[in-house]
A and B are shown apart, each in its own frame.
Chain A
Amino acid sequence: MAGQYWRAAGITYLQYANICGTHVRNCLKEPFKAVAKNREGFISNTVLYKNGKEASTIVLNAELLQKEVLTKKN
């Protein structure tokens, strides 16, 4: 399908929808932009324990996710 070049490039619909949403939020005027950013914001820390000790930590938040979405290579 000509309209779905992104699917051919290995991007899923959810990734596509997230990218489009990010672009629209970035282009809002000021009071609305802050509200939208606030709404989408989240912080997540995942710590993996091995034998009772911290093995690794995965930090994920809105900015990191956005960066990853916009530069991701599958």
Chain B
Amino acid sequence: MIRSIVKSTNTLLKSNVAINSNKRFFATETGDDLLTFSLLSPHQTIYKDKKAQLVTLPGAKGIFGVAKNHVPRIAELKPGVIQINHENGDLEKFFISGGFAFVNPDASCYINTIEAVPVDQLDPNEVKNGLTRFTQLYNDAQDENSKAIALIGLETHQQMAFACGVSA
């Protein structure tokens, strides 16, 4: 009697083990729920493998946030503000001039930019001057090419104005 119970529990245990071993996990799912990201520009590594709760990026098709287990994607970035919600709850903002973001399946994210500067390094006066200059250029532009170039300048300055709180 006892032997049969022991036997049945043994088989039960075995089948349990078998069920558990059939389940599959990402290796990263055992840790915390933080994103690992790197913020890089050609001349400087600003962050490497840094943990963060959320990183908000200015995508070419719209602003999007990346947290852990985001769908893997490669996104083009426009000039705009990167907002980093750090591990300890601190908020940090960078202005980037464009680039690409790679969101990997293993809860990591690479942000490759041309220029990335802390928002408080932007000069509000320069931004204001640039904004009026490129609005003027855009209105004066005749052909498609110079209109596009003026519009790039206008958009970049609009984003910078937004970042450092300047209104035209």
A residues near B, CB below 8 A?
Answer: 3-6, 8-11, 16-21, 23-30, 32-33, 36, 39, 70-74
Q: How far is the CB of A46 from chain B (nearest CB, A)?
A: 24
Give the chain B neighbours of A26 by CB distance below 8 A: 126, 130
- B44-84 Cβ-contact flags toward A at 8 Å (1 or 0): 00000000000000001100000000000000001100000
- Take A27-B130, A29-B123 as given contacts and tell me if A20 and B160 are in contact as well, using a CB distance cutoff of 8 Å: no
Complex Cα–Cα for A36 and B123 (A): 14
Give the chain B neighbours of A18 by CB distance below 8 A: 114
Give the chain B neighbours of A23 by CB distance below 8 A: 79, 97, 130, 152-153, 156-157, 160
Complex Cα–Cα for A33 and B127 (A): 13
A74 close to B122 (CB less than 8 A): no
B156 close to A20 (CB less than 8 A): yes
Complex Cα–Cα for A15 and B54 (A): 31
Q: Does B15 contact A (CB under 8 A)?
A: no
* Shortest Cβ distance from A2 into B: residue: B61
B156 close to A11 (CB less than 8 A): no
Number of interface residues of B (CB under 8 A): 32
Complex Cα–Cα for A4 and B115 (A): 20
Complex Cα–Cα for A37 and B3 (A): 83
* Shortest Cβ distance from B96 into A: residue: A24
- B88-130 Cβ-contact flags toward A at 8 Å (1 or 0): 0000000111110000000000000011010001110011001
Binds A, one of B4-12, B27-35, B143-151: B143-151
Q: Does B43 contact A (CB under 8 A)?
A: yes
B148 close to A11 (CB less than 8 A): yes
Q: How far is the CB of A7 from chain B (nearest CB, A)?
A: 9
Complex Cα–Cα for A18 and B146 (A): 15
Give the chain B neighbours of A24 by CB distance below 8 A: 79, 95-97, 115, 117, 156, 160
